[in-house]
């Protein structure tokens, strides 16, 4: 290093300095031209590039002269590559020097007014106070009147300032880097938008040309039609008007027919839905009536078998009544007498209560706790008695079941279902255990 950035320690002789540290007098001073980046001491390149050029600018410039990837290389790799380009000289150093001159052209013109090192130092100190350091630093380093002492002073102050900034304002540096990255991203976005605007402008020009051509074609067609006789045009217009009116009449006719058809379809759909619901109810009622008829027929055959005293008499339809105590609420007097006779012949007991018409309702509450089941026909009992009956049965834990009608057939059908259920339960139940829970 021929001219180090810092001045070495002074010897005992005042103003004496080592011969190797004396700046070499070159044609640069004689010609009074500004110093190029490659001509500066190599120890200054790091500070100049790191201070005066942003990372975004270096990422655009350095990959053109190196093998680094601008998107994947780290900031440190980009910085090192830029310093190496500046030390090596050549096209990379020239590109960096050009970028510095273009970016800080205003500061260079302002510092050109200095004609001696002291004035240059005064301008540098003013820039330090205002905080505009990067432009002033490059202007000082490349100024033709800049001596090694001036450069050492600027370098030292910048070096110490970097320590202070690094120690006290790391958050500001991070924000600055983020802002630079954001600025670079915005610049890239602006470039893309400008390219897109150019594309849109080209598309708009093409669309305008196409519209003009279309307008010219329409104008030519209009001129050709202007040559047609007026009477022929009027006849053509009248024919088209009549055709439009005929089409509107047809459209109105078909619209009314469609609306009428839609209304008929909706009515038929409602009627079909009602008929389907009625059919379902009728089928359910038919099944119930068929079951009642079958139960009544079985009971009739059982009665005939008992009258003929046949040993194979089929009494399975009323076997469930044997030993049962049944409370029958509501119904009709004639059918109730038949039901009572039927239950008693089967070995059961039927207690009939009219629901409170002639019999007191208190008797009904007294008879319910000892009953096996409570039956009531829904067509011969009032709602009040039915609600009271359900509450009392639920309170005493007595089973209750509604019957469809007060006919003998509905009663016999219920008894037949209970008999079949009891037989199925008895057939599937395991044999009784000989183990007693109390005696073992």
List all residues 6 or more positions away from 259 whose beta carbon is below 8 Å from its beta carbon. Answer: none
pLDDT (tens digit per residue) in 374-403? 998 988 887 887 888 888 888 888 888 898
Half-sphere exposure of 259 (CA within 13 A, CB side): 5
406 in the Ramachandran plot: left (φ > 0), alpha (ψ -120 to 50) or beta? Answer: alpha
pLDDT (tens digit per residue) in 93-120? 899 999 999 999 998 899 998 899 998 9
pLDDT (tens digit per residue) in 240-259? 999 999 899 999 999 989 89
| Residue with the larger pLDDT of the pair 422 and 143 | 143
Distance, CA of 105 to CA of 5 (rounded, Å): 24
149 token code pair? 């002492």
Q: Is residue 296 pLDDT above 70, yes or no?
A: no
Per-residue pLDDT band for 87 (boundaries 50, 70, 90) equals very high
Distance, CA of 290 to CA of 295 (rounded, Å): 9
| Residue with the larger pLDDT of the pair 374 and 233 | 374
Structural domains in the chain plus CATH codes: 29-168 (no CATH), 267-423 (3.40.50.2300)
353 in the Ramachandran plot: left (φ > 0), alpha (ψ -120 to 50) or beta? Answer: beta
Per-residue pLDDT band for 63 (boundaries 50, 70, 90) equals very high
End-to-end CA distance of the chain: 115
Task: Report pLDDT for 312.
Answer: 43
E strands present in 225-346: 325-329
| Closest to 124 (Cα-Cα) out of 138, 105, 104 | 138
Q: What is the mean pLDDT of residues 211-227?
A: 79
Q: What is the mean pLDDT of residues 283-291?
A: 76
Task: Report pLDDT for 438.
Answer: 39
What mean pLDDT is reported for the chain? 79
Per mean pLDDT, which of 18-32, 284-298, 331-345 is the most reliable?
Answer: 331-345
45 token code pair? 């390149």
| Closest to 354 (Cα-Cα) out of 387, 388, 385 | 385
| Residue with the larger pLDDT of the pair 439 and 244 | 244
Which CA distances in Å does 321 have to 18, 160, 169, 208? 136, 115, 102, 101
Distance, CA of 302 to CA of 293 (rounded, Å): 14
329 and 323 Cβ atoms separated by less than 8 Å = no
117 and 150 Cβ atoms separated by less than 8 Å = yes
pLDDT (tens digit per residue) in 151-197? 998 898 888 877 776 665 566 667 788 888 899 989 999 999 999 99
Task: Report pLDDT for 20.
Answer: 40
pTM, rounded to two decimals: 0.36
């Amino acid at each position: 290093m021929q001219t180090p950035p810092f001045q070495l320690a002074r010897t005992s002789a005042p103003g004496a300095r080592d011969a190797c540290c004396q700046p070499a007098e070159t044609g640069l001073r004689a010609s009074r031209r500004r110093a190029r980046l490659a001509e500066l001491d190599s120890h200054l390149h790091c500070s100049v590039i790191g201070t005066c050029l942003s990372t975004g600018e270096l990422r655009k410039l350095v990959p053109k002269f190196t093998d680094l990837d601008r998107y994947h290389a780290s900031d440190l790799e980009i910085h090192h590559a830029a310093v190496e380009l500046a030390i090596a000289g050549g096209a990379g150093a020239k590109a960096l020097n050009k970028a510095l001159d273009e970016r800080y052209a205003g500061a260079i013109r302002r510092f050109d007014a200095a004609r001696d090192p002291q004035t240059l130092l005064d301008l540098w100190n003013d820039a330090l106070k205002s905080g505009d350091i990067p432009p002033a630093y490059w202007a000082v380093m490349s100024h033709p009147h800049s001596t090694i002492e001036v450069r050492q002073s600027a370098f030292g102050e910048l070096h110490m300032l970097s320590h202070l900034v690094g120690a006290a304002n790391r958050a500001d540096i991070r924000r600055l880097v983020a802002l630079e990255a954001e600025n670079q991203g915005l610049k890239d976005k602006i470039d893309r938008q400008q390219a897109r605007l150019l594309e849109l402008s080209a598309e708009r020009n093409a669309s305008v040309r196409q519209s003009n051509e279309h307008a010219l074609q329409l104008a030519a067609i209009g001129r050709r039609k202007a040559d047609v006789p007026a009477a022929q045009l009027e006849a053509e217009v009248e024919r088209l008007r009549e055709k439009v009116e005929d089409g509107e009449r047809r459209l109105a006719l078909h619209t009314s027919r469609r609306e009428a058809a839609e209304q008929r379809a909706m009515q038929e759909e409602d009627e079909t839905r009602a008929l389907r619901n009625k059919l379902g109810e009728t089928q359910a009622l038919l099944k119930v009536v068929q079951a009642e008829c079958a139960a009544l027929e079985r009971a009739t055959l059982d009665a005939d078998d008992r009258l003929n005293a046949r040993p194979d008499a089929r009494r399975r339809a009323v076997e469930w009544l044997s030993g049962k105590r049944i409370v029958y609420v509501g119904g009709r007097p004639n059918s109730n007498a038949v039901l009572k006779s039927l239950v008693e012949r089967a070995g059961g007991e039927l207690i009939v209560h009219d629901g409170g018409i002639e019999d007191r309702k208190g008797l009904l509450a007294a008879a319910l706790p000892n009953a096996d089941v409570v039956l009531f026909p829904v067509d011969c009992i009032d709602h009040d008695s039915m609600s009271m009956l359900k509450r009392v049965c639920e309170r005493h834990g007595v089973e209750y079941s509604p019957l469809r009608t007060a006919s003998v057939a509905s009663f016999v059908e219920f008894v037949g279902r209970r008999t079949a259920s009891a037989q199925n339960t008895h057939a599937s139940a395991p044999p009784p255990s000989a183990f007693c829970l109390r005696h073992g």
